[in-house]
Structure 1
């Protein structure tokens, strides 16, 4: 197993399946330009080798989240900044349907800020 797979397999179900599904959707949204790496022990998605977003877990909120680079330029009430300078996060509520289209739209907007 590679380190990225190990990261996901340390997460318990049903969280793991949800994150793996979201990971697949992100990678499939732009197969030519979006890649995945392990940085700081976390799965990072990069667009043309530049930071795009990553997954992590918030102990404060007790939820997984996706953090968007250039989040400071995104103006959506669902995104939390919480003192971060360049990133905003979207908490993933496993009790509700995953907002895949919304997440992919956010990724498209972040891609527009990457030169």
Structure 2
């Protein structure tokens, strides 16, 4: 088992299944997406530029997707919290995933890179 996979399999259900599904959704959005681990959490890069993370909120124990360039995304369910650049999208692991919303947010986030709004070296 890789270091990336270990993160998911160390989680309890229903978070484990939720996070594994989110991972598959993210990785299947574009052939240029790769997964690595940064700051102890799964990090997804588009052409080696970080664009999203998966994590579990320490207080609520619910997973979320963190969008690195979240300040450039406009969606009512994205939360800024005390972050200036990033926003998160919370996921209820006990409910059906809002796949349409997740894919839309991922598409919008990736378009920031694809369209040159966020520069890729």
| Aligned residue in 2 for 1:43 | 42
- What is the Cα deviation at residue 6 of structure 1? 0.8
Contact 2:15 2:62 in 1 (8 A): no
Contact 1:52 1:107 in 2 (8 A): no
| Aligned residue in 1 for 2:70 | 71
- TM-score, length basis structure 2: 0.87
Structure 1: unaligned runs, 5 residues or longer = none
| Aligned residue in 2 for 1:19 | 19
Contact 2:54 2:66 in 1 (8 A): yes
Cα RMSD of the aligned pairs, angstroms, is 1.2
- What is the Cα deviation at residue 8 of structure 1? 0.7
| Aligned residue in 2 for 1:5 | 5
Structure 2: unaligned runs, 5 residues or longer = 114-118
- What is the Cα deviation at residue 60 of structure 1? 3.1
State the alpha-carbon separation in 1 of the partners of residues 85 and 106 from structure 2.
15
Deviations 1:50-81 (A, max 9, x none): 11101111123331111011101111110110
State the alpha-carbon separation in 1 of the partners of residues 13 and 26 from structure 2.
20
